[in-house]
Chain A
Amino acid sequence: MKTEPKIVAFLCNWCAYAGADLAGVSRISYPPNIRVIRVMCSGRVDPAFIVGAFEMGADGVFVGGCHPGDCHYISGNLEAEKRIKNTQRLLSMIGLGPERLRLEWISASEGERFAQVITEFTENLRKLGPNPFKAQVNAKSHTDMKKVISEAIKKTNVQYCLECGKCSASCPISKVNNAFSPRRVVERTLLGFEEKVLSGTDVWTCLTCFLCSERCPSDVRFPEFIRDCRRVASQKVMEELCAHRGIPTTLSRMMTNPKIKQDRMDWLPSGAKISARGDTLYFVGCIPYFDVIFENFNLELLKIPQSVVKILNKVGIEPAMLSNEKCCGHDLLWTGDLENFEKLAKTNATDLKKTRATKIVTSCPECYRTFKKDYPEVLGTFDFDVLHISEFLSELIDKGKLKFDAKLSTKVVYHDPCRLGRHMGVYEPPRKVITSIPGVKLLEMPRNRENAICCGVSAFMSCNKYSKEVRADRLKEAKATGADLLVTTCPHCQIHWKCLATEKLPTSSDSVSMDMQDFAVLAAEALH
């Protein structure tokens, strides 16, 4: 028997909800599939609710608001309209299609219209068939907390802590927030107070930037310890501390679904040469999604993959690419969702093998680390030669296969992203490439390479006043060098810095406002 579409409807209190009531009062019947959630204004409906609803298996989401101009809150409905459009882009990209999400203006007097719209929407959904993600609810399988922790203590050298405090003295967060101290987290756990630790916020405050473990004389790998803690730490606390309402991680989880059919290649410029198979594969990462999610930061993130492809073509490489590329799973791994991470790892591995590629080039340090370090660990084998674009380019330069022909006269300061730098020890290749661009002068911040500090946020966790201070601090440091342009190899740094600019600042905005650009984009600009 055919399953009935399940529809979640968010109706604004003043118009749409009243309209629905009227339909009832007027005894106008409409399909029973709809489940109404009353909100004060359609502007209240967060994309995260919608995406969340779909992850939970809704076949359609309906949003009803007042007609333009009638909004009880003046312009809430217009806000909603923008968001819905934006969310529809996400949905089509992830492969659900825009039509499963519907926004309608329904006034309090339009009971009939309400019934009509719902009936029609239900019909369409019937045609579309059930939400492929139905029943993809990822209830965490139970894990033995004590075991996880005691193993972590050994595995990550936490047991060897000498209580010297060098970690806390290095941690960019501890510096601005005394309440957080890696040392104290470690000592409490060692003394057997792990419950206290896991139910607190500390586990989620760590930037996992690896500065502490870079310096720890006892080689305590605190960020890895934290990663393991997060597997068994309170999810409630995590959800409270999760930035951008967790859309990125939600999307990642959705991608674990084998049935998924994404449509994510529309950024590819006409004339760009790519192939489905080939020796060198370019792994784009979540940038297309970010471009939508962080639309209002106007980051032009899509320039990154476009630039990469441009450069590759320029040196005669037609990179293989996955049209249905899945998230590498980095954020899931670092927020403690090992199960889903493993799923993604497996599917990615199989998809990647199909391309017959031997080399994987990434423009994102997170994908880079995840492929190079974490996949081999969870999968046992992952025999691809994984390169960050900066490594790839500097190799080309060495081989004389790449020469920058455009002269750009600018002073550039390079920021080492934690994932590329301390996590993977890639410090010199980006610098090498940048310095080989004619007319570019490379400046260094006092804290560079292994001593660089984090952009301020990772895995979209704990975006708060402290992480803001860290971000501002780093931007100031960059600005102080007198450079015109701040270059990073990680799109996330840009997101978090730009995000800072959209919020209330701990300091004067011009002290931190700085032109920034991705490494790949800069490199591409240096080519005619």
Chain B
Amino acid sequence: MESSEEVPRIGVFVCHCGINIGGVVDVPEVVEYSKTLPGVAYAEGNLYTCSSEGISKIKEGIAKHNLNRVIVASCTPRTHEPLFRAACEEAGVNRYLFEMANIRDQCSWAHMHEPEKATEKAKDLIRMAAAKARLLKPLEEPEIDVTPSALVIGGGISGMTSALCLANQGFKVYIVEKEPKLGGMLRNLNKLYPNMEDASEGLSQIAKRMKSNKKIKVLTSAAVKQVKGFIGNFEVTVEKANGKAMNFEVGTIIVATGATVFEPVGMYGYGEHENVITQLQLEQLLKKGQLKKPKKVVMIQCVGAREEKGRTYCSRICCTTALKNAMLIKEKCPDTDIYILFRDLQAYGTHYEDLHRMAQGKGIKFIKYVLEKPPQVIRGENGRLMVNVCHALLDEQVKISSDLVVLSTPLIQQESAKELSQMLKVPLGPDGFFFEAHVKLRPIDFATDGIYVCGTAHSPKDIAESLSQALGVASRAAIPMAVKRLKVEAITAVVDENLCSGCGTCVKLCPYNAIQKDEKGIARVTSVVCKGCGTCAASCPERAITMQHFTDEQIMAQALAALGRCVA
């Protein structure tokens, strides 16, 4: 810490970068100028500061002129800061006492035809860097211990897969399932496409592996009641059905709570006619072999899904499930006519596209309808159901008298999800499913470190897709647990409790829930969770928050220096 107290002795290393900078900016002049700046104890020019030679020059400089601040004026910190920081560290200068002036990407290259002005700008940029450097404070990246155990919430196929993979990597896993048995949605399913094997087969195998694995603690008929702490150090309270609560510590948490199926009460005569059923009910009938040969079956897709508002999303698996079950019916009773009334048939990828063709080959009939003109299911006088649908691609009404109508309904979020999301402070998306940190590149992380999501809790998907994610989180969660100790961001916010009035503005603003009010009502930053954006500092009504390494003073000093109002 004392290095901040002592008088700043700044070393400035100006890079020619071949002729990239040297060809435009008058480097020698800049070097000379740097020497005149307050706090600068030494300055030199290098051909390539980033070359191994340049690096050793920096180290020498630090030793020879016992510098306690270093500025490199060269390219962009985005690519090179870490390199130079490392150099400083190796020479005994705290990595946060380093500052960079970008005189290539944002100066020589951008002003190639104005050498004088570019040189002036380079000087300013170095003056600004120096102004900040003088105010830099050494920072330590805090380290935290990570409890090498994970909590998996949800004992479906996804949860079990994650649990097994983590256990095999040597971590202790607690898996919490609300039902008395593991297995989740898979327990309701019959045969699985593409290899048409019984769902129960895969389940029993995995169940076996779960039992035999000593690192996994299975808690069935149980629910997570409370979660406190942060990555590496979560305190979990689980309540069993018998009311007994148990507490344990984990380093990471995986949300694999799955989804449930929408029940289309009052739609297409569901709940009114006994032979209007859901796809899931059909699955059960087939599973139990209770389906009696129907003459004509009509399946209606997108029932309660892809609506104008409300459930606007596509449930992804319904079309392929319908195709699969249609095939199974055809197998059982080949002369049954089957109609699938769809809007856009979501049979994607390789095997599903083939499944669609197989169904066509089996003579299953497909009729496209549009949201504006949904089919109608009415009971005909002979007691059979009459389905009227407008064939969107022939613009003709088609009447199908059928003895079984199957409704494909979407997967929807569990009721329990809302409570869980608040408990873990992880968001739910507009579609009700858990919302990841970044849709594109962090699909299975939450913005909150140490908590991950997989399977249908994230969005509807099939088994292979769920398992890809389940294995994915097994990697994401393993990372902090494998390294055991976690270095976290040093550029964090700190609250001056004398100034904080406890208004809570920052608490609401922080995208990472890194700020909480303590018992005194004062805002406290959990620095290991803070990512250092500084929005809180810029908004704190009492200006009680300091954003380390980007303090008001440091930024202002740069601004003033830029304006030539540099205070010596």
Which A residues are closer than 8 A to B by beta carbons?
154, 159-161, 163, 183-184, 187-188, 190-192
Q: How far is the CA of A191 from the CA of B363 in the complex (A)?
A: 10
B438 within 8 A of A: no
Q: A187-B394, A191-B398 are in contact. Are A159 and B363 (CB under 8 A)?
A: yes
Q: Does any Cβ of A come within 8 Å of B357's Cβ?
A: yes
Q: Which of B334-382 contact A (CB under 8 A)?
A: 357, 360-361, 363, 365-368
A385 CB, nearest partner CB in chain B, Å: 36
C-alpha spacing A160/B359, complex, angstroms: 9
The answer to whether B365 and A188 touch across the interface, beta carbons within 8 angstroms, is: no
Residue in B closest to A164 when the chains form the complex, CB atoms:
B393
Whether A191 touches B365, Cβ cut-off 8 Å, given contacts A163-B393, A184-B394, is: yes
A188 to B394, CA, bound (A): 8
A187-B393, A188-B394 known; A163+B368 contact, CB < 8 A:
yes
Residue of A whose beta carbon sits closest to that of B364:
A159
B394 neighbours in A (Cβ, 8 Å): 184, 187-188
Given A187-B393, A187-B394; A160-B360 close (CB under 8 Å): yes
A183 / chain B contacts, CB cutoff of 8 Å: 393
Q: Which one of B361, B367, B368, B391 lies within 8 Å of A160 (CB-CB)?
A: B361
In the assembled complex, the Cα of A190 lies from the Cα of B366 at a distance in Å of 9
Q: Which of B357, B361, B368, B394 has the most CB of A within 10 A?
A: B394
Q: 8 Å CB contacts to A: which residues of B403-428?
A: none
Q: Report the bound CA distance from A459 to B367 in whole Å.
A: 35
| CB-defined contacts of B363 to chain A, threshold 8 Å | 159
Cα of A249 to Cα of B367 in the assembled complex, Å: 40
Query: Chain A's nearest CB lies how many Å from the CB of B418?
Result: 41
Bound Cα distance A187, B367 (Å): 9
20 A-B residue contacts at CB 8 Å?
Answer: A154-B361, A159-B360, A159-B361, A159-B363, A160-B357, A160-B360, A160-B361, A161-B360, A163-B366, A163-B368, A163-B393, A183-B393, A184-B394, A187-B391, A187-B393, A187-B394, A188-B394, A191-B367, A191-B391, A191-B398
**Nearest CB in chain B: distance from A265 CB, A:** 51
Closest to A165 in B: B393
- Cα A184 to Cα B363 with chains together (Å): 17
- The distance in angstroms between the C-alpha atoms of A154 and B361, with both chains bound, is 7
Interface positions, chain B 502-544, Cβ under 8 Å from A, are: none
Which residue from chain A places its CB closest to the CB of B363 in the assembled complex?
A159
A167 CB to nearest chain B CB (Å): 13
B365 partner residues in chain A, CB cutoff 8 A: 190-192
Residue of B nearest to A153 (CB): B363
How distant is the Cα of A160 from the Cα of B362 in the complex, in angstroms? 10
Within 8 Å CB of B368, what residues of A? Answer: 163
Q: Give every chain A residue within 8 A of B398 (Cβ-Cβ).
A: 191
User: What string of 1s and 0s marks CB contacts (under 8 Å) between B168-187 and chain A?
Assistant: 00000000000000000000
Tell me the bound Cα distance from A191 to B339 in angstroms.
Answer: 9
For B, the interface residue count at a CB cutoff of 8 angstroms equals 12
A-B contact count (CB 8 A): 23
- A contact patch SS: helix
Closest to A158 in B: B360
- CA A163 to CA B360, docked complex, whole Å: 12
In the bound assembly, the distance between CA atoms of A188 and B391 in angstroms comes to 10
Which B residues are in CB contact (< 8 Å) with A184?
394
Distance, CA A161 to CA B361, complexed state (A):
10
For A188, what are the chain B residues with a Cβ–Cβ distance below 8 Å?
394
Report chain B residues within 8 Å CB of A154.
361
Q: Report B12-28 CB contacts with A as 1/0, cut-off 8 Å.
A: 00000000000000000
Give min CB distance, B344 to chain A, whole Å: 12
A154 to chain B, nearest CB (A): 8
* Additional A-B contacts beyond A160-B360, A160-B361 (6; CB < 8 A): A163-B368, A163-B393, A187-B391, A188-B394, A191-B365, A191-B398
Q: Which single residue of chain A is at the shortest CB-CB distance from B339?
A: A191
Tell me the bound Cα distance from A187 to B366 in angstroms.
Answer: 9
User: Which residues from B are CB-within-8-Å of A190?
Assistant: 365
B357's closest neighbor in chain A, by CB? Answer: A160
Q: How far is the CB of B357 from chain A (nearest CB, A)?
A: 6
Smallest CB–CB gap between A183 and chain B, Å? 8
Chain A residue contacts of B393, Cβ below 8 A: 163, 183, 187
Q: Which of A183, A191, A192 has the most CB of B within 10 A?
A: A191
Q: List residues of chain A with CB within 8 A of the CB of B391.
A: 187, 191
Q: How far is the CA of A115 from the CA of B398 in the complex (A)?
A: 66
Interchain nearest-CB distance for A166 vs B (Å): 13
User: How near does chain B come to A269, taking the closest CB pair, in angstroms?
Assistant: 56
Closest 3 CB pairs of A and B: A159-B360, A163-B393, A160-B360
Minimum CB distance partner of A161 in chain B? B360
Looking across the interface, which residue of chain B has its beta carbon closest to that of A183? B393
Distance in angstroms from A85 CB to nearest chain B CB is 52
Identify which of residues 377-406 in chain B touch chain A, using a CB-to-CB cut-off of 8 Å: 391, 393-394, 398
Q: From residue A204, how far is it (CB to closest CB) to chain B in Å?
A: 21
Centre residue among B363, B368, B398 by max chain A CB count within 10 A: B363
Nearest-Cβ distance from residue A180 to partner chain B, whole angstroms: 14
Q: In the docked arrangement, what's the CA distance between A190 and B340, Å?
A: 13
Smallest beta-carbon distance B355→chain A, Å: 13
**Closest Cβ–Cβ distance, residue B401 to chain A (whole Å):** 13
Contacts of B361 in A (CB 8 A): 154, 159-160
- A22–B549 Cα gap in the complex (Å)? 128
- Closest-by-CB residue of B relative to A184 is B394
For the complex, give the distance between the alpha carbons of A163 and B393 in Å: 8
Alpha-carbon separation in the docked complex, A73 to B275 (Å): 75
The distance in angstroms between the C-alpha atoms of A163 and B361, with both chains bound, is 15
CA distance A190 to B391 in the complex (A): 13
The CA-CA distance from A56 to B183 in the complex, in Å, is: 78
Residue in B366, B368, B398 whose Cβ sees the most chain A Cβ within 10 Å: B366
Docked CA distance A159–B394 (Å): 17
A187 partner residues in chain B, CB cutoff 8 A: 391, 393-394
Nearest CB in chain A: distance from B323 CB, A? 14
CA A183 to CA B363, docked complex, whole Å: 17
State the Cβ distance, B48 to closest chain A Cβ, in Å. Answer: 56
Instruction: Using CB atoms, name the residue of chain A closest to B359.
Output: A159
Residues in chain B near residue A160, CB distance under 8 A: 357, 360-361
Chain A residue with Cβ nearest B345? A162
B319 to chain A, nearest CB (A): 14
> Which of B360, B363, B391, B393 has the most A CB atoms < 10 Å from its CB?
B360
CA distance A163 to B367 in the complex (A): 10
CA distance A154 to B393 in the complex (A): 22
Q: Which residue of chain A has the shortest Cβ distance to B398 in the bound complex? A: A191
Interchain CA distance A93-B180 in the complex, whole Å: 92
CA distance A192 to B360 in the complex (A): 14
Query: Whole-angstrom distance from the CB of B327 to the nearest CB of chain A?
Result: 14
Measured CB to CB, the nearest residue on chain B to A192 is: B365
Min CB gap A215→B, angstroms:
18
Residue of A nearest to B367 (CB): A191
CB distance from B194 to the nearest CB of A (A): 19
Q: How far is the CA of A159 from the CA of B365 in the complex (A)?
A: 9
Distance to closest chain B CB from A489 (angstroms) = 37
In the complex, which residues of chain A have a beta carbon less than 8 angstroms from the beta carbon of B366? 163
Complexed CA–CA distance, A91 and B391 (Å): 54
The smallest beta-carbon distance between A236 and chain B, in angstroms, is 25
Q: Which residue of A lies closest to B361 (CB)?
A: A159
Cα–Cα distance between A159 and B366 once the two chains are bound (Å) = 11
Q: Closest CB of chain B to A406's CB: distance in Å?
A: 55
Which chain A residue lies CB-closest to B368? A163
Q: Which residues of chain B are within 8 angstroms of A191 by Cβ–Cβ distance?
A: 365, 367, 391, 398
Residues of B within 8 A of A159 (CB): 360-361, 363
